[in-house]
Amino acid sequence: MKAAVLHELGKAPRFEEFAEPIPGKDEAVVRVRMASLKAIDKQLASGSHYASPRELPVVCGVDGVGDLEDGTRVFFGGPRRPYGAMAEHTVVPRAFCFPISSGIHDDTAAALPNPGVSAWLSLTHRAKLVPGETVLILGATGVTGQLAVQVAKLLGARRVTGAGRNERALGRLRELGADATIQLDQPADSLKEAFAREAGDSGFDVIIDYLWGRPTEAVLAAITKPEFAVVTKETRLVQAGESAGPTILLPAAVLRSTALTILGTAGVPSREILMDAMQQVMARAARGELRIETEQVPLAEIERVWQQRERSGCRIVVKP
């Protein structure tokens, strides 16, 4: 079969022949329709991820959409190495195969679950967002950030603010439900003021942070109180990414003047929670309530697309 085969960490995979998979106990062979190309795929292939492969060659890709032997169309994840999603066939645990509605196109079915479930769980499972609260999405112009804006609105957020760098994507956030946007490429003082204006006197209830680094420092500076004040509510910050930097400076005054709780995304929740999130995300996509932009590329062009920079807010999907 044809596949995107990785021979050396830090290099692009090559389009070439690879052995057909043979299923073991409780496994299924999937005929792949499409697989998405995500940051984690590149991190795994670069050797920078804690789960990067130790033995090569391997086929790239952690999830996708395809057909089981009986014709059932599924979203699948966790292929058994050395197999991966970017191939004509792969092999996965049957427990990681989720039937999907016929109302969702293959490209959406391949691209949406990973970032969509991530956004859904960050807002529900970790932040525990309740209707009527205010939300700030740091990194709202990326694929997952755009979905987080939409999910926050679907969950009943009263006001959603999206912050990002890409002007075109920032403009689109209004169409996706954002009530306000903040351009991150501005001087430190004006960025802090912009966050302070949006926070207002009551602050943000929830912050979903895909950036960390300088933008997070600006937000924390904006919500730090310069005097003793009555605390009326907690701000829950969910740390979900580090595309602007792996570390921040955290002054003690931030934690002593505000009711701030910083949460991680905390690994993988139970299968029941994952299943519910998957069903919610896919059902809302089928109704047109969640949207994701995709670019379809033939698997034969994997070396070229691997090197190119992803358009902001657009997910590349690879078709065998």
Confirm if 73 and 33 have CB atoms less than 8 A apart. yes
27 SS3 class: strand
pLDDT digits (tens, 9 = 90+) for 120-166: 999 999 999 999 999 999 999 999 999 999 999 999 999 999 999 98
Q: Quick one: 209 and 96 in the same domain?
A: no
- Tell whether 138 and 179 lie within a shared domain: yes
Query: Same domain, yes or no, for 54 and 120?
Result: no
The arithmetic mean of pLDDT across residues 230-246, rounded, is 86
Distance CA 86, CA 63 (A): 8
Domain-located, residue 19: yes
Q: What's the structural domain count of the chain? A: 2
Instruction: Render 73-104 in DSSP notation, one character per residue.
Output: EEEEE-PPTT--SSBSEEEEEGGGEEE--TTS
Q: In this structure, is residue 165 part of a structural domain?
A: yes
- For residues 164 and 57, state if they share a domain: no
> 173 and 106 in one domain?
no
pLDDT, tens digit, 9 for 90 and up, residues 240-296: 988 888 899 999 989 888 889 999 987 667 778 888 998 999 999 989 899 999 999
* Domain region containing 254: 115-264
Helix axes 143-154, 113-121, angle to 10 degrees: 50
pTM metric for this prediction = 0.88
In a shared domain, residues 163 and 193 = yes
Q: Which CATH number characterizes residue 94's domain?
A: 3.90.180.10
The residues pairing with 4 across neighbouring beta strands, listed in sequence order, are 15
- Minimal CA–CA distance to 147: which of 212, 64, 62, 240? 240
Residue 260 lies in a domain: yes
222 and 306 inside one domain: no
Task: Judge whether 173 lies within some domain.
Answer: yes
Question: Are 90 and 143 part of one and the same domain?
Answer: no
